[in-house]
Structure 1
Amino acid sequence: MPVLPGAEPYRHEGGEVGVLLCHGFTGSPQSLRPWAEYLAERGLTVSLPLLPGHGTRWQDMQLTGWQDWYAEVDRELRVLRERCSQIFVFGLSMGGALTLRLAAKHGDAISGIVVVNPANKVHGLSAYALPVARHFVRTTKGLTSDIAKEGSEEVGYERVPLHSAHSLRKFFRLVDGELPQVTQPMVLLHSPQDHVVPPADSARILSRVSSTDVSEILLEQSYHVATLDHDAERIFEESYAFIGRLAPSVGKKGSTTGG
């Protein structure tokens, strides 16, 4: 299947410090592309993969589950480890949950994580209906483009396959149980006005991780897809400053240059 325009994966070969970016459920690399390019312009090695079943059509997603999505980011992390001395992982929404699981599983191999409006649970009555409903109803309404900024659009699906949503629910439960294994320095940025993931998810994540170096930042001007919203520049700047604090070579002249 052809990939939707703008949804292509993105890679940049830079210096010794690498960043893996994880996009959200039914979304695509397009939602994180400006963030990835911002980091690449500053000499970092960047990987922004397209998750299996995403970026084409929702029918393709129906054939995938959390194991497929996690395996993709896990593989990309291993590739980065082969060429970088330090690695950071960033994620939006479900990408935040993928980030947290990578952190729980890979320990010291990851120097720090940044999560934006990270998801921790499928909310509402529909969550309880999923195990049964998915056998009778194939899709529900999409979740994309929850953005306050006028003219800003997210490339993603207008329908959510219930089979995939059921898998997502199981994944969130798994990650929730693993949160105490997360020990890395962490920046968590979240929007008080988010119509997809409630602030309760961020609060739970903050209460359960074992990290001691933690910053919580509110994105007052943005909705769920804050990386394409009014606070995008703030996310980019805060995340780059975070890397600079933990990877001393970053930002020094000539130290992270690369093509």
Structure 2
Amino acid sequence: MSARTGALLIHGLGGTQFDLGSLHKVLQRAGVATHAVTLPGHGTQPEDLVSVSADDWLDAVVASYHELAAQYEVFHVLGMCMGSLLALALCDRVQHSKGKLVTLAPPIFIDGWSTPWYRQLRHLVYWIPGLPGRMKVEEGEPFGIKNSTVRAIVKAKFARGDNFHYRWVPLACVRQVDRLRRRVRAGARNIACPTLVVHAREDELTSLKSAEFLQASLTDVRVVVLENSYHMICVDNDREQVVNSVLEFFGYPPVPPRRVRGAD
């Protein structure tokens, strides 16, 4: 394995690098130089997302990729949730071949068990002038987390107002995620780099249909299905399996197992 190995890690909608759990530290200990990108409209306040487009997000990760990839002999791309959609779109646009691609809980489809039956009505609301920018999509229980201890910690962080994740996002930016999802579905077959898809069977936001779509669309793909997590797989019950799946995929030994507190 080259000593000059880097990776671009992309967080999810409304999130920060907290979305990725311990992946930054674990990869650094394995010898991978990790680089985080803060997406436009993030790290400040949710209102800043209103005017941000899917192209803004994609342009930001493409710019980071071009700046960083030239510095390494091997360069991987990894994304969580919406970050995985951006990772897919990035690899399509630049025809990534310098390393591998990891998609964690990719929401190709928004059809998980907690999504309401009327979710498709949002596409009608998008066309009402001014309304998508004013409507708030709240982050609520179970916060994408099955582990009761971790969920309680996240709930307390929200109550304190910690700036680790937006408490809500405007519907206007959900529209941009939908645009990104369509772009990924259209371009997935153009991605040739080796790809790992890690997806929870009980993901409340996006069902295994998303993983199955990528498995059918990509030419070189491995799928890992988690059995004891919801959407936020990097911090939930199966987080060690996530870490070790990524390490193995990149060609590194696994980390020793530890007891998972509060596993349900």
With normalisation by structure 2, the TM-score equals 0.81
- Aligned residue number for residue 257 of structure 1: none
- Aligned residue number for residue 221 of structure 1: 228
- Aligned residue number for residue 116 of structure 2: none
- Aligned residue number for residue 59 of structure 1: 47
Letter paired with 1:54: H
Match of 1:142 among 138, 143, 148: 138
Distance 2:124 2:88 in 1: 26
How is 1:222-237 mapped onto 2 (pairs within 5 angstroms)? 222-237=229-244
Letter paired with 2:198: L
1:141 Cα deviation (Å)? 2.7
1:121 Cα deviation (Å)? 3.6
Deviates more, 1:233-242 or 1:152-161: 152-161
1:131 Cα deviation (Å)? 2.1
1:222 Cα deviation (Å)? 0.8
Q: Work out whether residues 59 and 161 of structure 1, in 8 Å CA contact, stay in contact via their aligned partners in 2.
A: yes
SS in structure 1 at match of 2:84: helix
Match of 1:50 among 20, 35, 38: 38
- Aligned residue number for residue 131 of structure 1: 126
- Aligned residue number for residue 167 of structure 2: 158
Letter paired with 2:20: L
SS in structure 2 at match of 1:38: helix
Q: Work out whether residues 147 and 229 of structure 2, in 8 Å CA contact, stay in contact via their aligned partners in 1.
A: yes
Letter paired with 1:150: S
What RMSD over aligned residues (CA atoms) do the two structures have, in Å?
2.1
Distance 1:43 1:93 in 2: 25
1:33 Cα deviation (Å)? 4.5
1:29 Cα deviation (Å)? 1.5
Change (3 A) 1:131 1:141: closer
Change (3 A) 1:17 1:33: same
- Aligned residue number for residue 209 of structure 2: 200
Q: Determine if the alignment matches structure 1 residue 86 to structure 2 residue 95.
A: no
Distance 2:136 2:45 in 1: 14
Q: Work out whether residues 42 and 49 of structure 2, in 8 Å CA contact, stay in contact via their aligned partners in 1.
A: yes
How is 1:1-259 mapped onto 2 (pairs within 5 angstroms)? 15-122=3-110, 124-133=119-128, 135-137=130-132, 138-143=134-139, 145-152=143-150, 153=154, 155-209=164-218, 211-212=219-220, 214-244=221-251
Letter paired with 2:131: F
Q: Which consecutive segments of 4 or more residues in structure 1 shift more than 4 A?
A: none
Structure 1, unmatched stretches of 5+, are 1-13, 245-249, 252-259
**Residues 46-97 of structure 1, C-alpha deviation per residue, up to 9 Å, x if partnerless?**
0111111112211011121111111221122112212101111111111111
1:134 Cα deviation (Å)? 6.3
Q: Work out whether residues 121 and 169 of structure 1, in 8 Å CA contact, stay in contact via their aligned partners in 2.
A: no
SS in structure 2 at match of 1:217: strand
Count of matched residue positions in the alignment of Structure 1 and Structure 2: 231
SS in structure 1 at match of 2:136: strand
Deviates more, 1:105-114 or 1:214-223: 105-114
Q: Work out whether residues 115 and 188 of structure 1, in 8 Å CA contact, stay in contact via their aligned partners in 2.
A: yes
Identity of aligned residues (%): 22
Change (3 A) 1:227 1:136: same
With normalisation by structure 1, the TM-score equals 0.82
Structure 2, unmatched stretches of 5+, are 112-118, 158-163, 254-264
**Residues 166-217 of structure 1, C-alpha deviation per residue, up to 9 Å, x if partnerless?**
12211211121101101111111101111112222222222222x23x2111
